[in-house]
Amino acid sequence: DAKTTQPPSMDCAEGRAANLPCNHSTISGNEYVYWYRQIHSQGPQYIIHGLKNNETNEMASLIITEDRKSSTLILPHATLRDTAVYYCIVRENPGEKLTFGTGTRLTIIP
């Protein structure tokens, strides 16, 4: 079973920051938070992952709360191509397979 809880859907205006929340209240100390997204009919695309500290790459930023029970994925300037289902996954690294939930369907509105 997925260890995360995400809202089923969200809208965001094009050009604005999209903030996608994720709850993972049962996360253990050696588990990472991973984010993937899936654009319609394509395979999941890796976005970012983190353990304790906030992380940033060319795609997004990941903010993890100090108690690690929740996190937020931030897409700083959303474009129409960011419309996708976003999955937040808790995973022990390395070794474990990814267990997907149902994710958040993010729609970017022109």
Partner 1 sequence: DTGVSQDPRHKITKRGQNVTFRCDPISEHNRLYWYRQTLGQGPEFLTYFQNEAQLEKSRLLSDRFSAERPKGSFSTLEIQRTEQGDSAMYLCASSPGHRISGNTIYFGEGSWLTVV
**Which residues are at the interface with partner 1 (CB under 8 A)?**
2, 34, 36, 41-46, 49, 85, 87, 93-95, 97-103
**Cβ–Cβ under 8 Å, residues 2 and 17:** no
Cα distances from 98 to residues 1, 76, 81, 107, in angstroms, run 10, 26, 24, 24
Closest distance to partner 1 from the beta carbon of 37 (Å): 11
Closest distance to partner 1 from the beta carbon of 88 (Å): 11
Which of residues 8 and 110 has its CB atom nearest to partner 1 in the complex?
Answer: 8
Closest distance to partner 1 from the beta carbon of 36 (Å): 8
Q: Which two tokens stand for residue 88?
A: 């937040």
Nearest CA among 95, 69, 93, 86 for reference residue 3: 69
Which of residues 21 and 44 has its CB atom nearest to partner 1 in the complex?
Answer: 44
**Cβ–Cβ under 8 Å, residues 7 and 86:** no
Which of residues 97 and 110 has its CB atom nearest to partner 1 in the complex?
Answer: 97
Which of residues 81 and 97 has its CB atom nearest to partner 1 in the complex?
Answer: 97
